[in-house]
Amino acid sequence: MNAEESDTDALIATLSAVDDPRTLGRYELLLPLGRGGMAVVWAARLRGMRGFSKIVALKTVLPALTTSPRAQRMFLAEADIASKIKHPNVCEIFDLGEDQGVMYLVMEWIDGEALSTLARACREAGDAVPHGVAARIVAGAARGLDAAHRLRDEAGKPYGVVHRDVSPQNILVSAEGAVKIVDFGVAKLTQRAQELTESGVIKGKVAYLAPEQVQKRDIDARADVFALGVVLYELATGIHPFKRETDLATLLEIASPDPAPPADVPEELAKILARALAKDPNERYPAMVDMARDLEAFAASVGCEDDAIAAFVGPRLAPLRAERAEELRRAARDADQRPPRPAAVGATTDAAIAAPPSKPEPRSRSPLWTAAGVLVVGVAIGAVGLRASQSVRPEREASPAPSASTSATTASTATAPTQAATATVTTTPPAPTASAVEAPSRPTATVARPSAPVARAVGPSSSPSASAPPSPPPTATPAPVASASTPTVIRRPDF
């Protein structure tokens, strides 16, 4: 069993406490892709509603390092740095999470291979990478690294990012010709160098270190320029300029003042290599963008356009891509047969969307709520009645209230069809006459029209009775006619 298989089994054992040990957060682990110094990279699947799914690359900390504070700091630093870089030549970060004690980083899926895999496939097939294609690939990587080097915070202060692990393993090339820089796990930020760097520890792969890294001197973006120059030399010639039989011998060769051996390449490309591989940082390209421009100019001079990468890489990676696609299909079928992991609280599933809304159960009402409802209804009825009584009060006050000695009677007459009706109110000595009270649908004052002339009621005194104010003209609807003895009917609203 190799180290990669051992780490995969260890991670599955770590996750075995749950129903689905191959799930981290929202992601299904499908297939391990590779192993680094502190992490394992997986092909994973994000599943959503209505059959949606997406393949992503998911990186997890090695099981042996899950409890290491230093490994966790480096993992979080990689997520922090890479997520801030927005460039087509840098692998995009989608998510950072932790589940069941395992931290994971979610990245975009690149349908391609590492540059180291492409170079090995070319060697096995006896093919040499064309110089123009090599220049185009390395120029794309230089553009991505330049974006990282120029990264600034909200105040405009440079982060001072140095990748420190530029190598063919961390440059991905897709079948469509896209070039992506990955793995900022050992990147250095000058703003936080003391937090992320241990004293006496060399970061990066030995064969791609810059002389100042080997000598433990301060480094900046020019250390990445040197490492990318080594990648270009190896890709264009098939030979590593400094690698020896042991790591110690390789480090001594890098640290020595001797320049890299001359490469059997065109003169313009040889000049680019000599400047990038200068042992003195001050003699190198000051920025990655300068190296990228020279490489693009060389590629154009030899007739190599942007689409040349896809034309060269596609056929040579086709067998590897087909094998990887079949492995993913098998892994996805196996994942579909596993029982689903219980959904998180608040999650929405396809079944929840497809199911019709259920009819709510009737709620029983407590006696307290019933009594409160009755009280509210009673108060409302009382308020309506009070308002209606106040609206009628002026009409009732216009007529004197009956007493034991007097009573108010209204005699209504009509002198002529064109004359207004008048009513005379007098006091009479006999017993009071009760007024009939009815409750029509709307308040009206009915005036009786007798056929006899106007009559005067004579009271105890000889003085004539006072006449009441004239009533308003009759409405369009004629009032019913009553006899002279019929008392006036005063109506009030029903409430």
Residue type, 292: A
Residue 458 is given by DSSP the state: -
The per-residue pLDDT for range 368-393, each reduced to its tens digit, is 555 666 566 666 676 656 665 565 55
The per-residue pLDDT for range 173-210, each reduced to its tens digit, is 998 999 999 988 766 665 444 444 444 455 678 999 99
Whole-angstrom Cα distance, residue 70 to residue 235?
A: 34
The per-residue pLDDT for range 286-318, each reduced to its tens digit, is 999 999 999 999 999 999 998 999 999 999 989
Contact in structure between 375 and 453 (CB atoms under 8 Å): no
Alpha-carbon torsion (212, 213, 219, 222), positive or negative: positive
Q: What is the pLDDT of residue 451?
A: 46
**Across 219-226, average pLDDT:** 95
Within 8 A by CB and 6+ apart from 112, the residues are 172, 173, 174, 175, 176, 178, 313, 317, 321
The residues that bridge with 99 in the sheet, in sequence order, are 102
For the entire predicted model, the pTM comes to 0.65
Averaged pLDDT of the chain: 75
Task: Give the model's confidence band at 438: pLDDT under 50 very low, under 70 low, under 90 confident, else very high.
Answer: very low
Whole-angstrom Cα distance, residue 441 to residue 492?
A: 9
User: Hey, how many other C-beta atoms are within 10 angstroms of the C-beta on 76?
Assistant: 14
Residue type, 63: P
Among residues 37, 38, 31, the alpha carbon closest in space to that of 8 is found at 31
All structural domains of the chain: 1-109 (3.30.200.20), 111-338 (1.10.510.10)
Can you read off the two tokens belonging to residue 334?
């196996």
Alpha-carbon separation of residue 305 from 140, 215, 296, 299, 308 (angstroms): 13, 39, 9, 7, 5
Whole-angstrom Cα distance, residue 91 to residue 141?
A: 11
**165 catalytically annotated:** yes
Among 7, 146, 165, 183, the one annotated catalytic: 165
Contact in structure between 122 and 129 (CB atoms under 8 Å): yes
DSSP H or E stretch at residue 478: none
- Quote the distance between the C-alpha of residue 227 and its chain's center: 39
DSSP H or E stretch at residue 36: none
Within 8 A by CB and 6+ apart from 199, the residues are none
**Across 52-68, average pLDDT:** 87
Q: Higher model confidence: residue 383 or residue 67?
A: 67
Whole-angstrom Cα distance, residue 198 to residue 70?
A: 9
Q: Could you give the maximum distance between any two Cα atoms of the chain, in Å?
A: 150
Q: What is the pLDDT of residue 39?
A: 87
Whole-angstrom Cα distance, residue 212 to residue 281?
A: 8
Whole-angstrom Cα distance, residue 189 to residue 72?
A: 16
Q: What is the pLDDT of residue 388?
A: 59
Can you read off the two tokens belonging to residue 283?
């003699």
Among residues 87, 449, 450, the alpha carbon closest in space to that of 288 is found at 87
Among residues 276, 279, 305, 316, the alpha carbon closest in space to that of 142 is found at 276
